[in-house]
Structure 1
Amino acid sequence: MLTYLHVIIAVIRARIETVRADERGYTTETVVVTALLVALAIAVLALIAVAVIDKARQLSTTL
């Protein structure tokens, strides 16, 4: 019974240690990747807007 208790305590300590693991670099990486994706999305939207405006200018306004 005492051995079983030691195993349970060891498992709980291991789980607590994994929760305390250092993940400081992950936040920075996430911010950088998100910023790059936002910049890419803005560039794509700008290209689409230019194409739509160009097509709109080519339309004939007379019926």
Structure 2
Amino acid sequence: MNTIREFLARRRHKGDAGYTTETIVVIALLVGIAIAAVTAVGTTIQNKATSISLDAGE
């Protein structure tokens, strides 16, 4: 149990805690942008597919 406490104490005192938080925020923003891009492309493709006429005579 002391080994776990020592490990957690060392992790708490490391100077990269802000970097980790910043990395998580940047990744979350990139994921949000990716979802928005996929949604926009999907909507465009769906609109194009809907506009295709399947009537052979026209």
> Same fold by TM (over 0.5)?
yes
2:47 to 48, 54, 61: 54
Larger radius of gyration: 1
Percent same amino acid among aligned pairs? 41
Indicate the structure with greater helix content.
1
Shift, 1:35, TM fit? 0.1
Query: Structure 1 residue 44 and structure 2 residue 24: aligned?
Result: no
Q: What TM-score results when the alignment is normalised by the length of structure 2?
A: 0.69
Q: What TM-score results when the alignment is normalised by the length of structure 1?
A: 0.64
Output the CA distance in 1 between the equivalents of 2:52 and 2:40. Answer: 19
1:35 to 17, 20, 28: 28
Any gaps of 5 or more consecutive residues in structure 1?
Answer: 1-19
Superposed structure 1 runs of 4+ greater than 4 Å apart: none
The number of aligned residues is: 44
Any gaps of 5 or more consecutive residues in structure 2?
Answer: 1-12
